[in-house]
Structure 1
Amino acid sequence: MYGTLSERDLAAELQAQIPILRPSIHAKRANLTVKFQDLYGFPVEGNVDDVNVMNEVREKVREQGRVWSGLEASKGANWFLQPEVRNGIALKSSLKFSLFANAITLKKLIRKGIPPVLRPKVWFSLSGAEKKRSTVPESYYSDLTKAVEGKVTAATKQIDHDLPRTFPGHPWLDTPDGHAALRRVLVVYSFRDSDVGYCQGLNYVAALLLLVMKTEEDAFWMLAVLLEDVLVNDCYTTNLSGCHVEQRVFKDLLVKKCPRIATHLEAMDFDVSLVSTEWFLCLFSKSLPSETTLRVWDILFYEGAKVLFHVALAIFKMREQELLLTHHLGEVINILHRTTHRLFDPDDLLTVAYDKIGSLTALTLSKQRKKQEPAVMAELDQRLRRLNSLKLEGEKQR
Structure 2
Amino acid sequence: MVQSGFISNTKPAAQVQNSQSPFRVGKSSGSARKKKERKRKEKKNPEPLLFHVKIAAPGPGVTRPTRRRNRISSPPACASSHFLPLLLIPSSGRAPREAGCLNIFTEMDKKKAIDDTEPGPAPSRAVDKFGFIKPDQSNSPDGISKSRSIHEREREERRIRKWRKMIGVGGSDWKHYVRKNPHVVKRRIRKGIPDCLRGLVWQLISGSRDLLLMNPGVYETLVIYETSASELEIIRDISRTFPSHIFFQQRHGPGQRSLYNILKAYSVYDRDVGYVQGMGFLAGLLLLYMSEEDAFWLLVALLKGAVHAPMEGLYQAGLPLVQQYLSQFEKLVMEHMPKLGEHFVEEMINPTMYASQWFITVFSYSFPFHLTLRVWDVFLYEGIKVVFQVGLALLRFCHDDLVKLPFEKLLHALRNFPEEATDPDVLLPLAFSFKVSGRLEELQKDYQKRLEGTSETSSSKRLQPLISKTISRVDK
Q: Work out whether the TM-score is over 0.5.
A: yes
Tell me whether 1:208 sits opposite 2:301 in the alignment.
Answer: no
Deviations 1:140-178 (A, max 9, x none): 111111112xx351x222212211222223211122221
Task: Supply the distance in 2 between the matched residues of 1:281 and 1:82 (Cα, whole angstroms).
Answer: 29
The one-letter amino acid of 2:213's match is S
Partner of 1:256: 335
Tell me whether 1:81 sits opposite 2:160 in the alignment.
Answer: no
Do 2:273 and 2:312's aligned partners in 1 also have CA atoms closer than 8 Å? no
Partner of 1:63: 155
Do 1:191 and 1:197's aligned partners in 2 also have CA atoms closer than 8 Å? yes
Partner of 2:129: 39
Q: Which runs of 5+ in 2 are unaligned?
A: 1-69, 73-124, 459-476
Task: Supply the distance in 1 between the matched residues of 2:282 and 2:269 (Cα, whole angstroms).
Answer: 17
Task: Give, in angstroms, the shift of residue 206 of structure 1.
Answer: 0.8
Bigger Cα displacement from structure 2, 281-290 vs 227-236: 227-236
Bigger Cα displacement from structure 2, 225-234 vs 107-116: 225-234
Task: Give, in angstroms, the shift of residue 293 of structure 1.
Answer: 0.3
Task: Supply the distance in 2 between the matched residues of 1:275 and 1:131 (Cα, whole angstroms).
Answer: 36
Distance 1:381 1:263, change over 3 A: same
Task: Give, in angstroms, the shift of residue 374 of structure 1.
Answer: 4.9
Do 2:303 and 2:312's aligned partners in 1 also have CA atoms closer than 8 Å? yes
Task: Supply the distance in 1 between the matched residues of 2:326 and 2:387 (Cα, whole angstroms).
Answer: 11
Task: Supply the distance in 2 between the matched residues of 1:270 and 1:219 (Cα, whole angstroms).
Answer: 36
Task: Give, in angstroms, the shift of residue 344 of structure 1.
Answer: 5.5
Distance 1:370 1:320, change over 3 A: same
Partner of 1:21: none
The one-letter amino acid of 1:359's match is K
The one-letter amino acid of 1:224's match is V
The one-letter amino acid of 2:237's match is D
Tell me whether 1:227 sits opposite 2:303 in the alignment.
Answer: yes
Deviations 1:173-193 (A, max 9, x none): 122221111010001001111
Distance 1:141 1:51, change over 3 A: farther
Do 1:285 and 1:293's aligned partners in 2 also have CA atoms closer than 8 Å? yes
Partner of 2:372: 293
Task: Supply the distance in 2 between the matched residues of 1:270 and 1:345 (Cα, whole angstroms).
Answer: 25
Do 2:242 and 2:281's aligned partners in 1 also have CA atoms closer than 8 Å? yes
Task: Supply the distance in 1 between the matched residues of 2:292 and 2:141 (Cα, whole angstroms).
Answer: 32
The one-letter amino acid of 1:218's match is D
Task: Supply the distance in 2 between the matched residues of 1:340 and 1:159 (Cα, whole angstroms).
Answer: 32
Partner of 2:435: 359
SS of 2:288's equivalent in the other structure is helix
Task: Give, in angstroms, the shift of residue 337 of structure 1.
Answer: 2.9
Rg: which structure is higher? 2
For 1:151-300, list aligned pairs within 5 A. Answer: 151-153=227-229, 155-175=230-250, 176-177=252-253, 178-213=255-290, 215-229=291-305, 230=308, 231-300=310-379
Distance 1:379 1:287, change over 3 A: farther
Do 1:82 and 1:99's aligned partners in 2 also have CA atoms closer than 8 Å? yes
Q: 1:117 aligns with which of 189, 196, 211?
A: 196
Distance 1:50 1:368, change over 3 A: farther
SS of 1:285's equivalent in the other structure is coil
Task: Supply the distance in 2 between the matched residues of 1:36 and 1:250 (Cα, whole angstroms).
Answer: 39
Task: Supply the distance in 2 between the matched residues of 1:44 and 1:67 (Cα, whole angstroms).
Answer: 27
RMSD across aligned C-alpha pairs, in angstroms?
3.3
Residue identity over aligned pairs, in percent, reads 28
Task: Supply the distance in 2 between the matched residues of 1:80 and 1:365 (Cα, whole angstroms).
Answer: 33
Task: Give, in angstroms, the shift of residue 139 of structure 1.
Answer: 1.0
The one-letter amino acid of 1:114's match is I
Tell me whether 1:127 sits opposite 2:206 in the alignment.
Answer: yes
Task: Supply the distance in 1 between the matched residues of 2:153 and 2:423 (Cα, whole angstroms).
Answer: 11
Paired residues in the alignment total 331
Task: Supply the distance in 2 between the matched residues of 1:288 and 1:54 (Cα, whole angstroms).
Answer: 24
SS of 2:268's equivalent in the other structure is helix
For 1:314-333, list aligned pairs within 5 A. Answer: 314-328=393-407, 330-333=408-411
Task: Give, in angstroms, the shift of residue 265 of structure 1.
Answer: 1.0
The one-letter amino acid of 2:338's match is P
Task: Give, in angstroms, the shift of residue 58 of structure 1.
Answer: 9.7
Distance 1:45 1:80, change over 3 A: farther
Bigger Cα displacement from structure 2, 138-147 vs 73-82: 73-82
Deviations 1:53-109 (A, max 9, x none): 9997996576244223135348844476224xxxxxxxxxxxxxx866621111010
Q: Which runs of 5+ in 1 are unaligned?
A: 4-34, 84-97, 384-398
Structure 1 length normalisation: TM-score? 0.74
Q: 2:164 aligns with which of 72, 77, 86?
A: 72
Structure 2 length normalisation: TM-score? 0.63
SS of 2:300's equivalent in the other structure is helix
Task: Give, in angstroms, the shift of residue 294 of structure 1.
Answer: 0.9
SS of 1:312's equivalent in the other structure is helix
Do 1:280 and 1:308's aligned partners in 2 also have CA atoms closer than 8 Å? yes
Task: Give, in angstroms, the shift of residue 232 of structure 1.
Answer: 4.0
For 1:383-398, list aligned pairs within 5 A. Answer: none
The one-letter amino acid of 2:284's match is A
Task: Supply the distance in 2 between the matched residues of 1:297 and 1:135 (Cα, whole angstroms).
Answer: 25
Do 1:181 and 1:216's aligned partners in 2 also have CA atoms closer than 8 Å? yes
Partner of 2:446: 371
